[in-house]
């Protein structure tokens, strides 16, 4: 009889942990990638990185140098630092933040237009930095559209699933909790089952940190270039805002392990 109870408890435990992981992942995705109001702040945080400013500068220079031959007359030693410095100015940073918002809106299916990094504010700032005392040169540089266009089809979209994320989180939360509690009640070895639940929570938190924090921060930038470096930085900035969630799940797992050992 105990053997059957353990088998049933094991099945309930596995399915419950899977649902709990789905719930956790849903919350992480919603909080990091789906909240439009936070996209600009994530972008501004990412733009504080010299690596990101350098990447944006390189993308823009490569984009405009063929369309505007005059760019070739500006020494690279002046142009690149000027763009990077301009990206630290509030008005230019806001242009970048607005582009990040458009990327996020495309991701959730609310925008299908090309996304432009840079714009008039960046051109004006670069002109002022390169030729602070030469109004005619400033006007020429202002007419250069310092920007980089990201094709909309290069950005994935989950628009068809966006409206269902809340239902998925609620359903998996209720189902997961019900199954995990049931697994403990059915189990003939309750302390062992509780310990397995705790270990599952610890593993889930480590996995989520690896995918949504470590991967975009340390791995993707070394595997990809250009826009993907920027996207990775924005993902890293967004993931850092839900560190309490990771710590909460990890702490709950450790607490369950300790309880299982003591009792």
pLDDT at 35: 63
The first and second tokens of residue 32, run together, are 């990091």
- How many CB atoms lie under 10 A from the CB of residue 38? 18
Upper half-sphere CA count for residue 127 (Cβ side, 13 Å): 19
Phi, psi of 116 (to 5 degrees): -110, 125
Antiparallel, parallel or unpaired: β 115-118 and 147-150:
antiparallel
Query: Residue 125 half-sphere exposure, CB side, CA atoms within 13 Å?
Result: 23
Q: What is the pLDDT of residue 218?
A: 77
**Helix runs in 108-164, H state only:** 120-130, 135-142, 159-162
pLDDT one digit per residue (tens) for the chain, 263 residues: 677 788 898 999 999 999 999 999 998 888 777 765 678 888 888 888 888 899 899 989 988 887 888 888 888 888 999 999 999 999 999 999 888 888 888 888 777 788 888 889 999 999 999 988 888 888 988 988 899 888 877 777 777 777 788 899 999 999 999 999 999 999 888 999 999 999 999 999 999 888 888 887 777 777 666 777 787 788 777 777 788 888 999 999 999 999 998 87
Q: What interhelical angle do 2-29 and 165-186 show, nearest 10?
A: 160
**Beta bridge mates, 116:** 149
Give φ, ψ of 149 to 5 degrees. -100, 130
138/10 Cα distance (integer angstroms)? 71
Q: What is the dihedral of CA 251, 257, 262, 263, to 10 degrees?
A: 110
Block residue for tokens 């189902």: 175
Per the DSSP assignment, residues forming a β-bridge with 219 are none
Structure tokens at 13: 């435990």
């Amino acid at each position: 009889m105990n053997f059957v109870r353990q088998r049933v408890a094991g099945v309930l435990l596995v399915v419950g942990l899977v649902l709990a992981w789905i719930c956790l992942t849903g919350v992480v995705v919603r909080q990091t990638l789906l909240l439009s109001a936070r996209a600009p702040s994530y972008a501004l945080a990412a733009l504080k990185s010299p690596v990101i400013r350098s990447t944006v500068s390189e993308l823009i220079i490569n984009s405009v140098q063929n369309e505007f031959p005059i760019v070739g007359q500006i020494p690279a030693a002046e142009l690149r630092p000027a763009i990077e410095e301009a990206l630290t100015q509030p008005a230019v940073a806001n242009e970048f933040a607005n582009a990040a918002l458009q990327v996020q809106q495309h991701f959730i299916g609310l925008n299908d237009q090309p996304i432009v990094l840079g714009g008039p504010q960046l051109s004006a700032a670069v002109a002022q930095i390169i030729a602070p005392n030469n109004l005619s040169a400033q006007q020429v540089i202002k007419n250069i559209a310092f920007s980089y266009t990201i094709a909309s089809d290069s950005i994935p979209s989950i628009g068809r699933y966006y409206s269902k994320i809340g239902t998925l989180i609620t359903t998996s939360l209720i189902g997961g909790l019900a199954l995990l509690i049931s697994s403990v009640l059915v189990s003939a070895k309750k302390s062992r089952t509780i310990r397995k639940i705790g270990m599952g929570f610890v593993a889930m938190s480590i996995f989520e940190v690896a995918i949504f924090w470590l991967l975009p921060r340390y791995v993707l930038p070394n595997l990809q270039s250009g826009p993907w470096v920027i996207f990775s930085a924005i993902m890293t900035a967004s993931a850092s805002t839900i560190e309490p969630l990771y710590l909460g799940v990890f702490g709950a797992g450790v607490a369950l392990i300790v309880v299982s050992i003591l009792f």
